[in-house]
């Protein structure tokens, strides 16, 4: 059974996969697999971009989204949608004509309506290529190999560490995501008397279940805690010759907690 494994740490947001999907399907009739994708309005592969944090401490996350080729596909209301033996979920372009209910049934919103053919359409894993011994175009196009496709057993190690997008009513998706970015806390340390940033201040973050992470402010005075989970944290910032600063933080989204002016304990 085939799976897609998407490594978000490798994805640079180039949108090449999205364009490759268009190139493969727009204006190309791959019957009996798939009728042509319209020139506009459809994103069978879509690179979602989310900005985390607040200016100037922001990070951008890229996440390619497509049909999840679920093992329990909510779109499979009857034989107009087929789950193939290799795991790919296909909308039958003949039987599904006029079937808006198929589009509405997908909890991921990855099915699009084709007005010209009166048909629901979505990613079919480039089944016409897979059956010819090739790989989906999005996978072939991805230069940093952020999207990979193949047999489930060959990806066992990655799958064990992966996360999935799972809707409330299940679906058992066959698309796995690696290195989904966690939350971050960023801040800056500076000396208000000298009006200079402070490099090498030690920031210690403690949280539930004995969590502790230490980082140092860099040559911009910035400190970053990464891959955090939501929760309550205590932050302490220390630097020799300065009074320490402490703050309680409730983290439910990535946070720029601003600047920390540290006061000297002793002027030399
Ligand atoms: Fe990311 Fe690869 Fe798609 Fe580019 S082609 S957006 S790197 S998944
Ligand atoms: Fe069907 Fe939606 Fe699952 Fe794709 S993601 S198989 S369209 S329910």
Q: Could you give all domains of the chain from N- to C-terminal order, each with its CATH number? A: 2-178 (3.30.70.20), 183-261 (2.60.40.10)
Closest Cα to atom 2, ligand 2: which residue? 106
Residue 268: predicted pLDDT: 53
90 lines ligand 1 (CB under 6 A): no
Please name which ligand lies nearest the alpha carbon of 148: 1
Please give the sequence-ordered ranges of beta strands (E in DSSP) within the chain, or none if there are none: 2-7, 45-54, 57-66, 81-83, 89-91, 112-114, 119-121, 147-151, 175-178, 183-191, 196-197, 202-207, 212-216, 222-228, 231-238, 245-251, 255-261
Q: Residue ranges of the chain with pLDDT lower than 70? A: 266-268
pLDDT digits (tens, 9 = 90+) for 172-212: 999 999 999 889 999 999 999 999 999 999 999 999 999 99
Rounded to the nearest whole angstrom, what is the distance from the C-alpha of residue 195 to the centroid of ligand 2? 56
Please name which ligand lies nearest the alpha carbon of 5: 1
Residue 168: predicted pLDDT: 81
Six-digit token pair at 200? 């090498």
93 lines ligand 2 (CB under 6 A): no
Q: Which of 65, 76, 87, 89 to mutate to test the pocket of ligand 2 (most atoms within 8 A of CB)?
A: 89
Provide long-range contacts, Cβ within 8 A and 24+ apart, for 74-80: 74/105, 74/106, 74/107, 74/169, 74/171, 75/102, 75/103, 75/105, 75/106, 75/111, 75/122, 77/101, 77/102, 77/105
Q: Which of 68, 91, 165 to mutate to test the pocket of ligand 2 (most atoms within 8 A of CB)?
A: 68
Residue 95: predicted pLDDT: 98
**Closest atom of ligand 1 relative to the 64 alpha carbon:** 8
Residue 267: predicted pLDDT: 59
Residue 131: predicted pLDDT: 98
67 lines ligand 2 (CB under 6 A): yes
Q: What is the DSSP letter of 253?
A: S
146 lines ligand 1 (CB under 6 A): yes
**CA end-to-end span of the chain, whole Å?**
69
Give the three-class secondary structure for 263: coil
């Amino acid at each position: 059974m085939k799976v897609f494994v998407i490594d978000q740490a490798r994805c640079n947001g180039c949108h090449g996969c999205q364009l490759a999907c268009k190139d493969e399907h727009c204006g190309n009739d791959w019957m009996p697999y798939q009728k042509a994708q319209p020139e506009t309005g459809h994103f069978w592969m879509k690179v979602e971009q989310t900005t985390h944090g607040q200016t100037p401490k922001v990070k951008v996350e890229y996440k390619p989204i497509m049909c999840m080729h679920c093992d329990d596909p909510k779109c499979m209301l009857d034989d107009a949608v087929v789950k193939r033996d290799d795991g790919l979920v296909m909308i039958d372009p003949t039987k599904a004509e006029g079937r808006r209910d198929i589009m509405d049934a997908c909890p991921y919103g990855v099915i699009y309506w084709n007005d010209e053919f009166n048909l629901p359409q979505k990613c079919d894993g480039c089944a016409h290529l897979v059956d010819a011994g090739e790989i989906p175009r999005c996978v072939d196009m991805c230069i940093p190999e952020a999207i990979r496709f193949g047999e489930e057993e060959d990806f066992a190690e990655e799958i064990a560490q992966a996360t999935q997008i799972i809707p409330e009513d299940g679906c058992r998706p066959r698309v796995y995501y690696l290195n989904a970015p966690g939350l971050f806390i960023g801040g800056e340390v500076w000396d208000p008397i000298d009006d200079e940033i402070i490099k090498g201040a030690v920031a210690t973050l403690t949280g539930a279940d004995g969590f502790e992470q230490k980082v140092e402010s860099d040559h911009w005075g910035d400190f970053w805690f990464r891959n955090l989970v939501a929760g309550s944290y205590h932050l302490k910032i220390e630097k020799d010759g300065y009074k320490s600063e402490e703050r309680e933080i409730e983290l439910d989204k990535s946070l720029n907690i601003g600047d920390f002016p540290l006061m000297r304990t002793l002027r030399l």
